[in-house]
């Protein structure tokens, strides 16, 4: 316990010092919202990765890997190829150039200025402000579970205490404070992940014996998971079964593609000075994502073999059925005490880096994108309203963290990633590359993608529709797909992620409506493309 307390105190000291540096360097709105547009590529890449990978990946998805095994490694592959390389080189460079040409400070402002629409900026800002607290709450729940297991605090005490620490430097220091602390936190996370995977493999006799041990445990797969399609932790999942659809449509596809339209990540492309910095950031970011979340997925799956060897139980039994507790229990029960203290520090880093970015993007969405445009307040007042928006976002996150049920971390993450992709990705991506994309096309695409995603969540996708209860109140069924014959494709739609349907609908609306509606003024389009030379 002494090691845990000392490492936590030292970590907090460094974080508050970096937060203080960010506050001292924040003089104008550009500093608060875009870190002055002169951030070093290493800092940008580490901030991008640390924001991308949070306790939802390490604890939430690591726990999911404890149930479903190595199929989750496909998400790591997509994270590197799509979330880092494609995002930074294909979208990032044009985002930076267009954002500079249009003098944009936020992701919704980039969309609004690209289509010369106050409605688009306000709508995007409102969606982000309303729904980012759900994603943030999942991260907050994850770190609070870790604090409960590692330090013995009450869950509610952990929630409130951690929230107050974050509020202190995010509200005052803006994006500079967020990115400075992110770079430090990302470095800690990398070191801890290397130690974690090395120790895990060593406990099982090496890489090959470890995987052989896990393969030989296939007959221990719980009957409920076997009935849902699981063959084994290394053997994979039967195609077309409910679990296959959950893993590959919600987790791999939903999160792997949804990352491209994450507002807290997109804004980081506008914090560097040139395209060269983005090219350099790809290497840093790719290595970061290989270790995080790659390591938690591997360790989550292998935890079954380690727990069986040590306690005679598999992971889900050790966690009492709550897979959000698998990784915290593994660290507390399996890893040496000195590491559990340092790993707690890494979890602080993962949670704080993501939460600070979520709080910041929620606050800027309310202050800059909604009130600034709707009320047409001055830039000076926008600064103050944005800080107030950050505070409101923090409070809403705390409320959601009290309301959401256990085992929600991975689901809430997938929900937010999918919603952002359906609502924003077509307007964002086509807006960067297609001059013929129109204001009407963007509006219809955003509204249609959002509506399709929400309809699927409320009436079709079983996890959400059953929990929310709107479908049952109106139809008497937890999902409208439940009325179909069991085992049929309509029945299986209950496990198909909303984004599988909503994102294609959104893209089709964007292209179709743009081809049929009046193009934007040529002078405005030329201004948008003025830096593409």
Give the number of residues written for the chain: 533
3-class SS shares of the chain: helix, strand, coil, % to 5: 80, 0, 15
- Kindly report whether the peptide bond that precedes residue 293 is cis, defined as omega within 30 degrees of 0: yes
Torsion over CA: 169, 140, 466, 249 (sign): positive
Q: What's the CA gap between 375 and 377, in Å, rounded?
A: 5
Q: What's the CA gap between 23 and 14, in Å, rounded?
A: 14
Q: Which two tokens stand for residue 463?
A: 């996890």
Termini Cα distance of the chain: 58
Task: Quote the DSSP letter at residue 383.
Answer: H
CA nearest neighbour of 335 among 453, 222, 201: 201
Evaluate whether 406 touches 480 at the Cβ level (below 8 Å).
Answer: no
Evaluate whether 89 touches 279 at the Cβ level (below 8 Å).
Answer: yes
Q: What's the CA gap between 22 and 187, in Å, rounded?
A: 18
pLDDT of residue 494: 93
DSSP character string of 72-113: GHHHHHHIIIIIIIIIIIIIIHHHHHHHHHTT--SHHHHHHH
pLDDT along the chain (533 residues), means of 10: 69 75 65 65 80 75 92 91 90 92 89 94 89 84 76 83 78 69 81 91 95 95 93 94 92 87 87 83 83 89 95 92 86 84 75 78 78 57 74 88 70 80 96 96 97 93 84 92 90 92 96 96 94 81
Residues in Cβ contact with 152 at an 8 Å cutoff, skipping those fewer than 6 apart: none
Q: Which ranges constitute the DSSP H helices of 312-408?
A: 315-318, 326-333, 337-364, 372-374, 379-403
Q: Residue 20, CB half-sphere, CA atoms under 13 Å: how many?
A: 6
Residue 182, beta-bridge partner list: none
Residues in Cβ contact with 443 at an 8 Å cutoff, skipping those fewer than 6 apart: 115, 117, 119, 120
Q: Which two tokens stand for residue 306?
A: 């380690």
pLDDT of residue 435: 95
Q: What's the CA gap between 108 and 90, in Å, rounded?
A: 19
Q: Which two tokens stand for residue 330?
A: 């593994």
pLDDT of residue 169: 65
Q: Which domains does the chain have, with CATH numbers?
A: 2-414 (1.20.1730.10)
Q: What's the CA gap between 237 and 251, in Å, rounded?
A: 14
Q: What's the CA gap between 187 and 203, in Å, rounded?
A: 25
Evaluate whether 257 touches 503 at the Cβ level (below 8 Å).
Answer: yes
Instruction: Count CB atoms within 10 A of the CB of residue 517.
Output: 14
pLDDT of residue 187: 84
pLDDT of residue 338: 77
pTM above 0.75, yes or no: yes
Q: For tokens 């952002």, what's the residue?
A: 420
- Kindly provide the residue ranges of all beta strands, DSSP E only, lying in 385-498, ordered along the sequence: none
Residue 237, beta-bridge partner list: 230
Q: What's the CA gap between 95 and 432, in Å, rounded?
A: 7
| 103: region left, alpha or beta (phi > 0 left; psi from -120 to 50 alpha) | left
pLDDT of residue 504: 96
Q: Which two tokens stand for residue 500?
A: 């599988």
Torsion over CA: 410, 318, 297, 70 (sign): negative
Q: What's the CA gap between 416 and 393, in Å, rounded?
A: 15
């Amino acid at each position: 316990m002494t090691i845990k307390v000392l490492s936590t105190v030292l970590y907090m000291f460094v974080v508050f010092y970096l937060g203080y540096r960010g506050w001292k360097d924040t003089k104008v709105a550009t500093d608060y919202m875009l870190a002055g547009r002169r951030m070093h590529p290493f800092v940008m890449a580490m901030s991008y990765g640390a924001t991308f990978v949070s306790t939802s990946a390490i604890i939430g998805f690591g726990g999911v890997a404890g149930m479903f095994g190595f199929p989750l490694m496909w998400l790591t592959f997509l994270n590197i190829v799509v979330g880092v390389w494609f995002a930074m080189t294909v979208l990032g460079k044009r985002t930076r150039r267009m954002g500079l040409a249009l003098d944009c400070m936020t992701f919704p402002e980039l969309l609004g200025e690209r289509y010369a629409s106050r409605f688009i900026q306000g709508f995007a800002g409102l969606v982000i402000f309303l729904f980012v607290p759900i994603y943030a709450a999942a991260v907050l729940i994850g770190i609070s579970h870790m604090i409960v297991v590692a330090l013995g605090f009450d869950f509610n005490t952990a929630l409130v205490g951690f929230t107050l620490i974050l509020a202190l430097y995010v509200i005052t220091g803006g994006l500079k404070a967020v990115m400075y602390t992110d770079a430090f936190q990302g470095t800690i996370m990398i070191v801890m992940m290397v130690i974690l995977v090395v120790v895990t493999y060593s406990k099982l006799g090496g890489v090959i014996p470890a995987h052989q041990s896990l393969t030989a445990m296939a007959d221990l797969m719980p009957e409920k998971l076997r009935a849902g399609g699981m063959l084994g932790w290394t053997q994979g999942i039967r195609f077309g079964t409910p679990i296959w659809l959950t893993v590959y449509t919600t987790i791999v596809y939903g999160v792997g593609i949804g990352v491209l339209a994450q507002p807290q990540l997109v804004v980081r492309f506008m914090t560097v000075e040139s395209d060269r910095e983005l090219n350099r950031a790809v290497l840093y970011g790719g290595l970061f994502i290989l270790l995080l979340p790659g390591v938690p997925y591997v360790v989550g799956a292998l935890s079954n073999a380690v727990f069986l060897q040590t306690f005679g139980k598999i992971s889900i039994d050790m966690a009492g059925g709550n897979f959000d507790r698998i990784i915290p229990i593994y660290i507390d029960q399996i890893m040496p005490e000195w590491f559990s203290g340092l790993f707690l520090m890494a979890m602080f880093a993962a949670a704080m880096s993501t939460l600070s970015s979520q709080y910041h993007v929620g606050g800027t969405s309310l202050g800059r994108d909604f009130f600034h445009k709707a009320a047409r307040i001055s830039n000076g007042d926008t600064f103050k309203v944005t800080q107030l928006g950050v505070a409101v976002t923090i409070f809403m996150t705390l409320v959601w963290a009290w309301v959401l049920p256990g085992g929600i971390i991975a689901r809430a993450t997938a929900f937010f990633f999918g919603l952002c992709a359906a609502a924003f990705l077509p307007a964002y991506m086509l807006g960067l590359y297609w001059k013929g994309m129109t204001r009407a096309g963007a509006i219809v695409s955003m509204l249609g993608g959002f509506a399709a995603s929400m309809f699927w969540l409320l009436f079709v996708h079983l996890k959400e529709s059953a929990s929310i209860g709107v479908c049952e109140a109106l139809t008497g069924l937890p999902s409208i797909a439940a009325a179909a014959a069991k085992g049929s494709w309509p029945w299986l739609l209950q496990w198909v992620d909303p984004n599988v349907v909503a994102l294609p609908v959104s893209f089709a609306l964007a292209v179709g409506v743009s081809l049929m509606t009046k193009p934007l003024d040529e002078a405005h389009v030329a201004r948008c493309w003025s830096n593409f030379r």
